């Protein structure tokens, strides 16, 4: 069975980013986590050059490719603390899954990582999902500590991964320099512009204000983000309205799903009691309490079944009545015909007796046929 277009594309990009590729990029190393799953990749990215605060830093992350790739864009996550992006959080970019409308199928993993490195050098993260704000000295310190960061899946530090990759790039004739010092920013393809887009214009994911990163104590510790719980909405008493004006309900307050407080059991109980009437709030006695059988079928389904059964029974009864009526009518018609036949036979016999009386003996004998005939003739002549 031939592989799908997505698998063929992923195999081609894996070969283009392998150490044996004719023109590898020394700015990053990327490969699938395993040969069994080509949709999950890990990458190690060299920070943008000076004067960027990430110069000399090495950052590890994940790339998740959708099943519809390259028709749909990949998603990116940084696993190494950088104080630029949140750890293990999808980044909202114009080339990520947050904005499928700006993605071009001609772009690939290499193009996306090149654009991601260029975007990392740009200042400012205001309004970006997955972005962090931190002082420059914090980002520089994390850049130095990022070289010893170790990925649990790859079982290597970022420095070990990139040193092996740089050696392979040098064998292909790529200038790397000491610790990647000569690796600058690559030129983006024509028509490609990477920017932090408004998440509301994309797939409708929830927008958040970028938190500020704190300084971690060591390289392995991720920058903690102070999370301040939103204050619970306070109900302020409304002043009584004037007698001449009708009471109007207060305008509805719309809260974002990210800041909506979790209702407590007490508030839920009060809200439920507010919707109940006085009769429903009254305690039910044992005689008034309805008995409910949990194993009984739903009333709606039972009522529908009974109505359907009654309708079928009515149709059957009507058919039976019609059959009985037809049978009785056929029997009555047969009896009427028999009576009519008997009556007709009696009429014929009476008429025969009248017009053809019985005659006996030989013609001419007294009372015989001849006598009667002659007498009939005489009577007729008279």
In a domain, 27, yes or no: yes
Q: What is the mean pLDDT of residues 314-324?
A: 83
User: What range does the domain containing 98 cover?
Assistant: 5-180
Residue 142 lies in a domain: yes
What pLDDT score does 209 carry? 40
Residue 353 domain-assigned? no
Is the confidence at residue 379, as pLDDT, over 60?
no
Model confidence at 358: pLDDT above 80: no
Q: Which of 92, 151, 154, 169 is catalytic?
A: 92
189 domain-assigned: no
Residue 54 maps to a domain:
yes
- Residue 168 covered by a domain: yes
Flag the least confident range among 37-51, 88-102, 351-365: 351-365
Percent of the chain surpassing pLDDT 90: 30
Q: How far apart are CA 46 and CA 90, in angstroms?
A: 19
Selected residue with higher pLDDT from 89 and 303: 89
Q: Which residue has the higher pLDDT, 215 or 11?
A: 11
Give the model's confidence band at 274: pLDDT under 50 very low, under 70 low, under 90 confident, else very high: low
Tokens at residue 53, please? 């605060």
Residue 318 resides in a domain:
no
Whose CA is closest to 119, among 72, 59, 203, 65?
A: 59
For the chain, how big is the Rg over CA atoms in Å? Answer: 51
| Structural domains of the chain, count | 1
DSSP 8-class letter at 87: B
Distant-in-sequence, close-in-space partners of 149: CB < 8 Å, separation ≥ 6 = 58, 60, 80, 81, 157, 158, 219, 220
Q: Per-residue pLDDT for 257 more than 50? A: no
Please provide residue 208's backbone torsions phi and psi, each rounded to the nearest 5 degrees: -135, 155
CA distance 165 to 24: 9
Give Cα separations from 344 to 101, 142, 333, 334, 336 (angstroms): 100, 127, 16, 15, 12
Secondary structure class of 286 (helix, strand, coil): coil
pLDDT of 279 above 60: no
pLDDT reported for residue 205? 42
> Which residue would you say has higher pLDDT here, 379 or 150?
150
> Between residues 240 and 55, which one has the greater pLDDT?
55
Per-residue pLDDT at 303:
67
Q: Tell me the per-residue pLDDT of 280-311, one tens digit each, with 9 for 90 and over.
A: 555 545 444 445 444 444 555 556 767 777 78
Reference 146, options 161, 134, 167; nearest CA is 161
Give mean pLDDT, residues 122-151: 84
Judged against a pLDDT cut of 90, whether residue 63 lies above it is answered with yes
CATH of the domain at 11: 3.10.110.10
- Please give the backbone phi and psi of residue 59, each rounded to the nearest 5 degrees, phi first: -125, 130
The fraction of the chain above a pLDDT of 70, given in percent, is: 60
pTM: 0.52
Distance between CA atoms of 253 and 12, rounded to whole angstroms?
A: 53
Q: Looking at residue 7, what is its pLDDT? A: 93
53 assigned to some structural domain: yes
| Residue 151 annotated among the catalytic residues of the structure | no
Mean pLDDT, the chain, integer: 73
Taking only the tens place, the pLDDT of each residue in 191-248 is 566 655 555 544 434 434 444 444 444 444 444 444 445 455 455 444 444 444 555 5
Q: Write the CB contacts of 335 (distance below 8 Å, at least 6 apart in sequence).
A: none
């Amino acid at each position: 069975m031939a592989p799908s277009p997505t698998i063929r594309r992923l195999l081609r990009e894996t070969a283009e980013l392998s150490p044996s590729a004719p023109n590898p990029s020394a700015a990053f190393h990327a490969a699938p986590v395993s040969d069994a799953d080509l949709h999950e990749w890990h990458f190690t990215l060299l920070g943008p050059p000076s004067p960027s605060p990430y110069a000399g830093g090495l950052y590890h992350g994940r790339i998740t490719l959708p099943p519809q790739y390259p028709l749909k864009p990949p998603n990116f996550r940084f696993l190494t603390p950088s104080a630029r992006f949140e750890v293990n959080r999808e980044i909202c970019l114009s080339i990520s899954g947050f904005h499928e409308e700006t993605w071009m199928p001609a772009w690939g993993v290499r193009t996306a990582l090149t654009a991601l490195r260029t975007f990392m050098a740009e200042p400012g993260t205001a309004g970006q999902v997955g972005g962090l704000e931190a002082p420059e000295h914090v980002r520089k310190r994390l850049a130095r500590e990022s070289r010893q960061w170790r990925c649990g899946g790859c079982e290597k530090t970022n420095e070990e991964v990139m040193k092996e990759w740089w050696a392979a790039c040098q064998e292909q004739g790529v200038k790397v320099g000491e610790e990647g010092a000569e690796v600058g920013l690559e030129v983006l393809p024509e028509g490609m512009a990477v920017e932090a887009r408004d998440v509301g214009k994309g797939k409708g994911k929830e927008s958040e204000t970028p938190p500020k990163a704190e300084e971690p104590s060591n390289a392995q510790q991720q920058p903690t983000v102070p999370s301040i719980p939103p204050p619970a909405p306070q109900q302020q008493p409304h002043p009584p309205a004037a007698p001449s004006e009708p009471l109007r309900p207060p305008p509805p307050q719309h809260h974002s799903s990210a800041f909506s407080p979790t209702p407590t059991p007490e508030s839920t109980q009060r809200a439920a009691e507010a919707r109940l009437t006085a009769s429903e709030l009254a305690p039910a006695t044992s005689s008034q309490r309805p008995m409910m059988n949990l194993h009984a079928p739903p009333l709606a389904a039972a009522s529908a079944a009974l109505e359907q059964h009654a309708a079928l029974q009515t149709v059957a009864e009507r058919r039976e009545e019609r059959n009985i009526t037809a049978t009785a009518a056929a029997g009555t018609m047969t009896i009427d015909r028999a009576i009519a036949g008997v009556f007709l036979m009696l009429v014929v016999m009476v008429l025969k007796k009248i017009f053809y009386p019985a005659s006996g003996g030989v013609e001419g004998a007294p009372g015989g046929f001849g006598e009667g005939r002659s007498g009939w003739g005489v009577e007729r002549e008279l």
